[in-house]
Amino acid sequence: MRTLCGVAVIAAPLGVARISRAFCRTTTTLAPPNYDPGARNACWTTTDGSPAVDLAWPARSRVPYLLDSIASRYVSLADATRAAHLAFDAWNQAMCAPGCQGSACQPPNVQAFDNGSINPDAAADDCGLIDCGVTYHDPQHIIVFRDDSWPYNGVGTTLALTTVTYGRTSGTIFDADIEINSSDPVNKPLTVQEPPAPNAYSLQFILTHEAGHFFGLAHATDATAIMYANYQGGLLQFASDGTPLLTPDDLAGICTIYPPLPLPPPSSGCACGVSVGTSASFAAASASLALLGLSLRRRRRGA
């Protein structure tokens, strides 16, 4: 199997492993790039007592993503758009009450949605993909294909990478961008066909895995989970509408981070100012942390 981590696991971990659950969350404490929760059977934690805050988008957010309009020489924009739509819907449509019926079935309180495409020149200047400094939070969450070259380590073993920008102390996610390694169509050909041919790599699986990182999940310890560190696209299962099916571990992860919440009460009468809601709360959080410069960018290797 090709590793989703991009780097082989080595001995002597740099932190203490803890066994608590199969799914793992991305935190403000950076794990070494070679740490594999599946091999360790534990999520990453540190030894120095520093606090590790779990990363998450603000509650009730609707987070837009955009695809680079040129997509790839090997994958059309239409095919990439469909794969991304199905990938994010796998997480958006997770039912956080197993076995529920009717109104008792509730999805996660944060949703991602397709906001169209972006000009490749604008994508090239995106501050989630290049370093613009810690005081700026790019509001555009982009999916790009790297046809010409892979600008990171692990060119032969990494299929994709997600970069997350977040608040240093709050763990609030401000930006998440996904890069697909399409630079080696001979040895790592991407396909939108399901199931994939034995020598091809499922773009649907890759994007579904990266969407998990987008929402704040790290690699899982459960070898059957979509968020496991090794590519296993041929095992992906689908609903009748083509949406990938999450495993129980993936479901537990997204529902733990974003449990269903009751809708805020409707406002009564007239009021001045900004109404309470997803966009206002997200913008306020971004602005306050931008002024303090308390943000970091971390790259999550996956799929």
pLDDT tens readout for residues 105-128 = 899 999 999 999 999 988 888 887
> Mean pLDDT of all residues in the chain?
80
Q: What are the CA-CA distances from residue 281 to residues 13, 27, 66, 117, 181 (Å)?
A: 38, 21, 22, 25, 34
In a domain, 227, yes or no: yes
Beta bridge partners of 25: 217
Q: Name the band, by pLDDT with cuts 50, 70 and 90, for residue 263.
A: low
The DSSP output letter for 281 is H
Name the 3-class secondary structure at 3: strand
pLDDT at 138: 77
The enclosing domain of 215 has a CATH number of 3.40.390.10
- For residue 48, give both structure tokens: 């120095």
Give the position of tokens 């989970």.
225
| Domain coverage including residue 250 | 62-260+283-302
| Position 286 pLDDT exceeds 70 | no
pLDDT digits (tens, 9 = 90+) for 151-171: 988 888 899 999 999 998 899
Residue type, 132: C
Contacts of the segment 82-86: beta carbons below 8 A, 24+ positions apart: 82/192, 83/192, 83/203, 83/204, 83/207, 84/114, 84/143, 84/207, 84/211, 85/114, 86/204, 86/207, 86/208, 86/242, 86/243, 86/244
Look at the chain and count its residues: 303
pLDDT digits (tens, 9 = 90+) for 76-105: 999 999 999 999 999 999 999 766 777 778
pLDDT digits (tens, 9 = 90+) for 38-71: 888 999 887 677 778 999 999 999 999 999 999 9
Phi, psi at 174, each rounded to 5°: -105, -30
* Integer Cα distance of 41 and 212 in angstroms: 19
Beta bridge partners of 201: 190
Domain count, the chain: 1
**Reduced DSSP (H G I as helix, E B as strand, rest coil) percent helix, strand, coil of the chain, to 5:** 25, 20, 55
Q: What are the CA-CA distances from residue 57 to residues 37, 181, 242, 246, 268 (Å)?
A: 23, 25, 26, 20, 28
pLDDT digits (tens, 9 = 90+) for 3-13: 332 222 222 22
In a domain, 7, yes or no: no
pLDDT at 16: 32
| Position 301 pLDDT exceeds 80 | no
Name the 3-class secondary structure at 99: coil
How would DSSP label each residue in 170-210? T-BEEEEEEEEE-S-TTTS-EE-SSSPPTTSEEHHHHHHHH
Residues 225, 251: contact at Cβ < 8 Å?
Answer: no
